[in-house]
Amino acid sequence: MKDRSFQQVFESDGVLRIPGLVAPALLDSINALMRARVLRVMTALGSKPIGIGSRAGYHEVVQRSPGRFDIPMSEQDLLPLWGKQGSLAPGVPWLELVHAVLGPDARPAFCGAVFSRPGSPAQQWHIDSPHEAPEHRPAHALNVMLALADIPVLAGPTQVARGTHALSNHLQRPGLDHDDLVYQTGTEITPARLREDDTGEEPAPAAMAAGDCLFFDDRVLHRGLANNSDTERWVAYFAYLRPRAGLEAVADTHFEATRSLFA
């Protein structure tokens, strides 16, 4: 990134990791809030049945893949961190970079915590939302993933395939299926398949230290790797949208669940 702006790097690669972006004091505060919420939700889940995928979960928790749980929070839950402006408040470490990619009108979409238990397998490669037009357009959604604790390669950091945000356009490439890209249906679309190089080579996984942030266009192929360590792997996520007609993210339907743990 030496001779290019964050925006230029993001347009070409669709991903960038910034080490140590979040200072220890703020990281501790985020950690405390996130883990308190996770404890409450997982205690309520107990032995209740939960399948794989957002349609099989609850409003409060989804099992993204075996042993990998996603627990959302709201901007209201995070008021102790940044006040009534939420994660759009001045001083939020990643806000300037969000604005550089999505513009000054970017708004929060989702946030929460994801943790994977020891022994959880790697996810399939997937994207978080599909393209809306055959021609490639700038990012409409940006994911910010924050390591809440050190994530060595053994613990299964997030693996991202640079540049695949343009190649994942199913409207431009009829051979790609929307559900296979987004929902991890079993028909895995790998980076090699998108690049049509048949090499089978995959991006090297990158360890993350507590406080590191990984930014990526949500149309980039990515996956959480297997947790082969003896500890849980914890990240916080903050997703933002570029305002655009017809693109409305509703927190209550983010997980596509129809039931609540607290009903």
The yes-or-no verdict on residue 224 having pLDDT over 70 is yes
**What average pLDDT does this structure show over 91-98?**
93
Question: pLDDT digits over 22-48, tens only?
Answer: 999 999 999 999 999 999 999 999 999
Tell me which residue of 210, 255, 254 sits closest to 234, measured CA to CA.
210
Beta bridge partners of 69: 63, 115
How far, CA to CA in Å, does 174 sit from each of 78, 133, 207?
Answer: 41, 13, 35
- pLDDT at residue 199, rounded to an integer: 67
Tell me the whole-structure pTM to 2 decimals. Answer: 0.91
Structure tokens at 218: 């949500």
Percent pLDDT > 70 in the chain is: 92
Q: CA-CA distance, 83 to 117, in Å (whole number)?
A: 32
The yes-or-no verdict on residue 228 having pLDDT over 90 is yes
Pick the CATH number of 6-229 from 2.60.40.10, 3.30.559.10, 2.60.120.620, 2.40.50.140: 2.60.120.620
Q: CA-CA distance, 135 to 122, in Å (whole number)?
A: 31
Instruction: Specify the DSSP element, H or E, that contains 240.
Output: strand 233-241
Which of the pair, 90 or 119, is modelled with greater confidence?
119
How far, CA to CA in Å, does 27 sit from each of 30, 72, 152, 209, 213?
Answer: 5, 18, 18, 12, 11
Sheet (strand 62-65) strand order: 15-18, 213-217, 141-147, 233-241, 107-116, 68-73, 62-65
112: left (phi over 0), alpha (psi -120 to 50) or beta: left
Answer whether 57's CB lies under 8 Å from 124's CB.
no
Domain boundaries defined on the chain: 6-229
The DSSP code for 176 is S
- pLDDT at residue 50, rounded to an integer: 95
Question: pLDDT digits over 54-72, tens only?
Answer: 889 999 999 999 999 999 9
- pLDDT at residue 200, rounded to an integer: 64
The yes-or-no verdict on residue 245 having pLDDT over 80 is no
